[in-house]
Amino acid sequence: MEAYTTITGEIPEGGVSPVLYEIQRSRFLAYVIHAEDEEEVRTWLQSIKKEHYEARHVPYAMVLGAHADRQRSSDDGEPGGTAGSPILEAIKTRGITNAAVAVVRYFGGIKLGAGGLIRAYAHAAGLGLDATAKIRMTPLHTMYVTIDYDLLAAVERYIRDTGVQTEATDYADTVRLTLLIPTGDIDLHQRALTDLTAGRARYKLGGHKYVAVPLA
């Protein structure tokens, strides 16, 4: 499992979607959505085309998968390579996956030429992507720590001070905390907690899971 960057959802919240770019009287409206499968993207595209039924073209691109290994694009009637490909490149150059971008074009009466179309679609897609909130999906290892109640305050203070991410705590005869830790830091935290609890903490490792970390 490797970390990857994606977006949090349709852009941006507050009714400002889509992002508009105008050039030579043509209008390009960029929509962006978080997506993890092609069917989700197709349904979303249908809704955009229904809303913009007067638009001549709605090219799009998508990059899916933690390794960004599923990529699709369509020119939707624009000259070959002038729309879908530059939109796809806008996603790839930003290192984003599990996202799709659609750009609605309203022709303004002035032809842009192949080069102009490529630049316009790339720029519109980039504006849309840059307006999205990004998150870094980071694989963390689940580590269960079982302690007696008299150790809870000290361990909770350690968790706060080190910024370790946690999930639900189980309170029974003993306390079982669920920590989410980078694999390379497991030994470090186990040693620190062992010292803190004088060897009374007990550990069990679970599986990996992706955890979202906001990006600026």
Strands of 67-160, DSSP E:
70-74, 99-106, 134-147
Dist CA 40 CA 45 (whole Å): 9
Q: Cα dist. 100→7, 40, 144, 159 in Å?
A: 10, 10, 37, 37
Any idea which fold 139-209 has?
A: Alpha-Beta Plaits (3.30.70)
Has residue 79 got a pLDDT over 50?
yes
Which of 15-24, 36-45, 147-156, 193-202 shows the lowest mean pLDDT across its residues?
15-24
Tell me the mean pLDDT in the region 56-82: 95
**Beta partners for residue 194, in sequence order:** none
Main-chain phi, psi angles of 38, to 5 degrees: -70, -35
Q: Give domain limits for the chain.
A: 4-132, 139-209
Tell me the mean pLDDT in the region 117-140: 93
Q: What is the pLDDT of residues 4-63, one digit of tens each?
A: 999 987 654 444 468 999 999 999 999 999 999 999 999 999 999 999 999 989 999 999
Has residue 201 got a pLDDT over 70?
yes
- Could you tell me which CATH number the domain at 4-132 has? 3.30.230.30
Q: With H, G, I as helix, E, B as strand and everything else as coil, classify residue 32.
A: strand
Per-residue confidence band for 67, with pLDDT thresholds at 50, 70 and 90:
very high
Which of 11-25, 57-71, 157-171 shows the lowest mean pLDDT across its residues?
11-25
User: What is residue 216's predicted lDDT score, i.e. its pLDDT?
Assistant: 57
